[in-house]
């Protein structure tokens, strides 16, 4: 399976994502510059965390105008192609309209950086197929604008269509509506999540729960996943 990790000006989790996929999973992985217009050779594109374009205007608001985003619009038309946006990547997916809703400043207006528990609401996605529904994962967060918001009709649609993939469990660190930590699009091949799975793929770093997400992607694509 071939992964591409997009690098925007200001990305700072691109190397972490690359390491998780290339060195921990052992899958083919390349960096993809934000000006790239052809990503058809990849199976999964990762939009990593960081501060693309310095988070000017709003987090992800400038990054959404990058050539790579236009390439993604054609990419996701093929339901076998996957996109995962992590933290700033989630913000970009929202700004670009790949996912519904918007991000607000955290409740309390403070940057939060800590491990949180998230519950798997839907294990029938390419990103959670190796998880159990209701399983609780411990994954770190690090963000200032992670307070997910959607109006009542959008939220109702997300819930009814099972597009809510992850919810904060135990406590909500940022005030997001319905405790949402991650959602997918209607076809299920685009996921946005605020927690950073790439930061907890090795026991030496404090946990391996994030690895389940990357392993799920590989398993969904038909690859062999080691226990």
Domains of the chain with bracketed CATH: 2-220 (3.40.50.880)
Contact (CB, 8 A) for 132 and 120: yes
pLDDT of 227 above 60: no
Question: Which of 87, 131, 184, 201 does the annotation list as catalytic?
Answer: 87
Angle, CA of 165, 166 and 168, to the nearest 5° = 160
Find the catalytic residue in 143, 196, 200, 201. 196
The sheet that has 82-86: what strands, in order across it?
A: 28-33, 2-7, 44-47, 82-86, 190-193, 180-184, 164-169, 112-120, 136-143
Residue 211: pLDDT above 80?
yes
- Reported as a pLDDT band with limits 50, 70 and 90, residue 155 is very high
Statement: residue 222 has pLDDT above 90: no
Of 25, 12, 11, the closest CA to residue 3 belongs to 25
- pLDDT for the residue 57: 86
User: Has 87 been annotated as catalytic?
Assistant: yes
Q: What is the pLDDT of residues 13-60, one digit of tens each?
A: 999 999 999 999 999 999 999 999 999 999 999 999 999 999 888 999
Of 29, 131, 198, 201, the catalytic one is 198
Residue 214: which H helix or E strand, with range? helix 211-220
């Amino acid at each position: 399976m071939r992964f591409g990790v997009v690098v925007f000006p200001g990305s700072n989790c691109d190397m972490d994502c690359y390491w998780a996929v290339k060195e921990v999973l052992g899958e083919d992985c390349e960096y993809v510059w934000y000006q790239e217009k052809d990503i058809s050779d990849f199976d999964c594109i990762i939009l990593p965390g960081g501060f693309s374009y310095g988070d000017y205007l709003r987090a992800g608001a400038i990054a959404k105008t990058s050539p790579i985003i236009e390439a993604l619009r054609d990419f996701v038309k093929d339901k076998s192609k996957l996109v995962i946006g992590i933290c700033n990547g989630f913000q970009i997916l929202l700004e670009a309209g790949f996912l519904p809703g918007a991000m607000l400043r955290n409740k309390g207006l403070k940057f939060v950086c800590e491990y949180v528990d998230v519950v798997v609401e839907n294990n029938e996605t390419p990103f959670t197929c190796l998880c159990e529904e209701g399983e609780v994962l411990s994954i770190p967060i690090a963000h200032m604008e992670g307070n997910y918001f959607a109006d009542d009709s959008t939220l109702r649609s997300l819930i009814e269509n099972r597009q809510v993939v992850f919810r904060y469990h135990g406590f909500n660190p940022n005030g997001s509506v319905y405790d949402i930590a991650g959602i997918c699009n209607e076809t299920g091949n685009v996921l946005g999540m605020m927690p950073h799975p790439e930061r907890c793929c090795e026991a030496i770093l404090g946990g391996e729960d994030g690895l389940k997400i990357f392993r799920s992607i590989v398993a969904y694509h038909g690859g062999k996943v080691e226990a």
